[in-house]
Amino acid sequence: MGNDNWPEVGEFVVCTVKNVTDFGAYVELEEFGGREGFIHISEIKAGWVKYVRDYVREGQKIVCKVLNVDPSRGHIDLSLKDVNEHQRRAKIQEWKNEQKAAKWLQFVAEETKTDENSVKALHEKLVEEFGSAYSAFEEAAIEGEKAFKGMKINKKYLKSIVKIAGENIKLPFVDIAGYVDLTCNLPNGIEVIRQALNAANSISDVDGKDVRLEISYIGAPRYRIKVIAPDYKKAESVLKKSAQTAVDTIAKLGGHGTFKRHIESAKA
């Protein structure tokens, strides 16, 4: 699904290298309608770089960190050196998953005879509720139509999403989720929260390749931590470690955090 917005500073983005020069590389941002970004030679790699082509080449898919965005000039500054291997792999997987979800939504459109604008609106609604369209399909594969309880979605869409999710997503692992509320009133509060989330996300590296951890924004100040692991005990352990890491990190940096295993329904 196309995205006509601009990326945020600090965000990781998937790019295709379009032109390599002596002083840097021009790239297209895959998730933002092909907007152009630039990686200065100083942001290619830590240390001295003699030839940019030793590190990037035309047509290559890379993951960059957004350093600066200037919509008035149509300019986006990027860094390749500020992305570690874990961040690169996680972002590439997320991007591939969203490509799959976009394809599945096209199947939904064809099956329900829905126009492009309606499918785009559905995509935006799923992202708003689940953090990503792929996560919405995963939840549909796990819980069926119950995953969309409380959401105003046409019944024909629900049936089609659940059907296509069941046909395309295999769920051999345990899947659980919890929530952290993170707040920081300092001038750099957004960066503090981002550091806490990055620390929480790194827990999956410690616990092995058989664990998948996803953190998505629900709505200030709440973030959802989802863990997929071989068994419930492992999943619960990783969830608690990740949440506690976020809470401890933000506390050290001057903010406040709390972990909630479940979100209680609002009382009338």
* 187 preceded by a cis bond (ω within 30 of 0): no
Provide the token pair at 70. 């200037």
CATH topology identical between 11-82 and 174-260 = no
Q: What share of the chain is helix, strand, coil (3-state, %, to 5)?
A: 45, 25, 30
* Domain regions of the chain by residue span: 11-82, 87-168, 174-260
CA-based nearest residue to 45, from 24, 19, 21? 24
Q: Please compute the mean of the pLDDT values over residues 78-100 and round it to a whole number.
A: 93
**CA within 13 Å, CB half, 25:** 30
In angstroms, how far is the first alpha carbon of the chain from the final one?
A: 38
pTM: 0.60
Share of the chain above pLDDT 70, in %: 92
Q: Which fold has domain 87-168?
A: DNA polymerase; domain 1 (1.10.150)
Report which of 255, 258, 246, 259 is spatially closest to residue 183, judged by C-alpha positions.
Answer: 255
Q: How far apart are CA 31 and CA 24, in angstroms?
A: 21
What is the reported pLDDT for 204?
A: 66
Domain at 174-260: CATH code: 3.30.70.1130
Token pair 């291997």 is found at 85
pLDDT tens digits, one per residue of 160-197: 999 999 899 876 677 888 999 999 999 999 999 999 99
Q: Token pair for residue 87?
A: 């961040």
- Please list, residue by residue across 186-211, b when 16 or more beta carbons sit within 10 angstroms of its beta carbon and e when fewer do: eeebeebbbbbbbbbbbbbeebeeeb
DSSP code for 93: H
pLDDT of residue 191: 94
Tell me the per-residue pLDDT of 15-30, one tens digit each, with 9 for 90 and over.
999 999 999 999 999 9
pLDDT of 3 higher than 50: no
- Show the DSSP H helices in the chain as ranges: 85-112, 116-130, 133-143, 155-168, 189-201, 203-206, 232-252
CATH architecture of the domain 11-82 equals Beta Barrel (2.40)
Q: In the Cβ-directed half-sphere of 60, how many Cα atoms lie within 13 Å?
A: 14
The pLDDT, as a whole number, for residue 172 is: 61
Burial of 183 (0-12, 13-18, 19+ CB in 10 A): middle
